[in-house]
């Protein structure tokens, strides 16, 4: 039995444990995680870690000794299969572990292709350290990589691989990359950057299946076959087509949810004393104008964990953190603030040809989000406008010579 049981040892789980002790929680705490490692940062998996620029030790969220010092029992390599909300225990392996409060922080599993060949051993997702280690172990021996999916993870992986001199084909089924998260200006800019770096980036690309060939070491993917009959030869396939939230045991236990488990402004699920936090939690986000969404970001994982913990500690501090996110590709640092969902206008600030510019998203004349490429000042100064929700002077917003903090009404 633990007073607080955290399920999932990722970003949200780690922050929950850290915050509980920071706020003086003296009860017993355990964290159950199905990976073998203590919590580590996931963003570098498609960036510095994949590129070999950061070792695993450097991406640990806290040194391994931290958890012992804070008296947080780490039950690693263990997967929770069931939750009993009436009996207040979870089943993990052959153990039943009781709880006072449960914080569900399980993130999501990579959505995989369902076509023929999708389960070949050289078809990889990018979610866990193990995924990336498996790819890194093979990189020396391969030339051609096909990346499926033009979201942030696919694009970041393509950037690293092209830096390694691999011949990369990136296939995006929609008519532009980043279509779900960004405006067209940003998509076109990144498409051009990748092509300039030698990536064969294709939009509107309809794949059919993966060709698998039996070799000396067993079966492996050797080509991606397109609907139009084209055969793209490949030595490795990387799939970055989103995640499916890991909510099975909670939903089976009766928690309300669909795409993620539903939580209120304190991150409470519909089950007593069970909170859900991070990628798996669907919440009404004020910056999405109240829409029920899941956010897949470190910011959201950390801030929701703090919200749940402060509620456990008896405070009522509803979740209302400003969303922010980043992506590194080549020498481009993208920083975003706010949520562009539902925008009805975009303003381009600065010239993409200079490789330093911002895309501003407005709704009803109000600035609701910014995507800033190598434009740290815009990112820092735009934040206050996203929070205030004021209607701003559009000519000034579009003029990169007027600092955003000086833009008036
Ligand atoms: P996770 O960090 O995924 O942790 C969940 C943990 O729970 C995992 O270890 C999982 O194995 C475990 N688990 C699942 N089910 C069970 C179970 N039943 N029992 C026990 N354990 C279980 N965000 C950004 O803000 N910026 C970025 O640049 C960025 N880049 C990214 C790059 C990559 C390659 C990836 C994969 C993600 C990136 N993200 C980025 C997203 C960010 O990493 C996630 O939003 C964040 O990790 C969410 O934290 P979480 O705790 O909800 O889930």
* Phi-psi region at 402: left, alpha or beta (left = phi > 0; alpha = psi -120 to 50): beta
Tell me which residue of 277, 334, 329 sits closest to 301, measured CA to CA: 277
CB atoms within 10 A of CB 96: 13
How far apart are alpha carbons 123 and 115 in whole angstroms? 12
Which atom of ligand 1 lies at the shortest distance from residue 44's CA? Answer: 32
For the CA atoms of 254, 256, 259, 265, the dihedral, rounded to the nearest 10 degrees, stands at -140
3-class secondary structure, 44: helix
How far apart are alpha carbons 369 and 325 in whole angstroms? 11
pLDDT tens-digit series, residues 3-17: 999 999 999 999 999
How far apart are alpha carbons 276 and 319 in whole angstroms? 13
Report whether pLDDT(409) > 90: no
Which atom of ligand 1 lies at the shortest distance from residue 249's CA? Answer: 18
- Mean pLDDT confidence for 18-35: 98
Tell me, what's the pLDDT at 408?
85
Per-residue confidence at 217, pLDDT binned at 50, 70, 90?
Answer: confident
Q: Is the CB of 309 under 6 A from ligand 1?
A: no
Tell me, what's the pLDDT at 390?
86
* Ligand 1 geometric centre to CA of 43 (Å): 9
pLDDT tens-digit series, residues 34-78: 999 999 999 999 999 999 999 999 999 999 999 999 999 999 999
pLDDT tens-digit series, residues 116-130: 999 999 999 999 999
Report whether pLDDT(258) > 90: yes
How far apart are alpha carbons 321 and 233 in whole angstroms? 45
Q: Measure Cα distances from 386 to 304, 323, 363, 383, 404 in Å.
A: 20, 10, 11, 5, 11
* Ligand 1 geometric centre to CA of 81 (Å): 18
Comparing 59-63, 153-157, 251-255, 388-392, the range with the smallest average pLDDT is 388-392
Q: Is the CB of 308 under 6 A from ligand 1?
A: no
To test the ligand 1 pocket, which listed residue (6, 7, 10, 109) has its Cβ within 8 A of the most ligand atoms?
10
- Please indicate, yes or no, whether the overall pTM of this predicted structure exceeds 0.95: yes
Q: Is the CB of 45 under 6 A from ligand 1?
A: yes
Q: Is the CB of 9 under 6 A from ligand 1?
A: yes
To test the ligand 1 pocket, which listed residue (74, 297, 303) has its Cβ within 8 A of the most ligand atoms?
297
- Ligand 1, atom 53: nearest CA belongs to which residue? 107
């Amino acid at each position: 039995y633990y007073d607080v049981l955290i399920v999932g040892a990722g970003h949200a789980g780690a922050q929950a444990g850290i915050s509980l002790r920071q706020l003086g929680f003296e009860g017993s705490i355990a964290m159950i995680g199905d990976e073998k490692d203590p919590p580590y940062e996931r963003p570098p998996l498609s960036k510095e870690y994949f590129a070999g620029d950061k070792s695993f030790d450097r991406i640990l969220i806290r040194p391994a000794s931290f958890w012992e010092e804070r008296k947080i029992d780490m039950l690693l390599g263990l997967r929770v299969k069931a939750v009993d909300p009436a009996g207040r225990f979870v089943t993990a392996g052959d153990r039943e572990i009781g709880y006072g409060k449960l914080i569900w922080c399980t993130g999501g599993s990579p959505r995989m292709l369902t076509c023929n060949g999708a389960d070949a051993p050289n078809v990889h997702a990018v979610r866990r350290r193990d995924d990336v280690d498996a790819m890194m172990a093979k990189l020396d021996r391969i030339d051609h990589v096909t990346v499926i999916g033009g979201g942030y993870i696919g694009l970041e992986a393509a950037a690293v691989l092209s830096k390694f001199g691999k011949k990369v084909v990136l296939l995006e089924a929609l008519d532009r990359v980043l279509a779900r998260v960004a405006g067209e200006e940003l998509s076109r800019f990144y498409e051009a950057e990748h092509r300039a770096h030698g990536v064969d980036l294709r939009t509107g690309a309809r794949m059919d299946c993966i060709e698998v060939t039996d070799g000396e070491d067993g079966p492996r993917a050797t080509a991606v076959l397109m609907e139009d009959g084209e055969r793209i030869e490949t030595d490795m396939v990387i799939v970055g087509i989103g995640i499916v939230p890991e909510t099975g045991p909670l939903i089976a236990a009766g928690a309300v949810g669909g795409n993620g488990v539903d939580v209120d402004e304190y991150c409470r699920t519909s089950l007593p004393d069970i909170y859900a936090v991070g990628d798996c939690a669907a919440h009404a986000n004020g910056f999405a104008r109240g829409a029920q969404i899941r956010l897949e970001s470190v910011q959201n994982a950390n801030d929701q964990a703090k919200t749940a913990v402060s509620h456990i500690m008896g405070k009522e501090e509803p979740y209302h953190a400003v969303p922010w996110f980043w992506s590194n590709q080549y020498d481009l640092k993208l920083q975003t603030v706010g949520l562009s969902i539902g925008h009805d206008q975009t303003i381009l600030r600065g010239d993409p040809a200079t490789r330093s510019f911002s895309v501003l998203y407005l709704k009803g004349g109000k600035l609701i989000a910014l995507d800033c490429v190598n434009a740290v000042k815009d990112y820092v100064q735009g934040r206050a406008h996203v929070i205030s929700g004021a209607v701003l002077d559009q000519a000034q917003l579009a003029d990169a010579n007027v600092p955003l903090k000086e833009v008036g009404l």
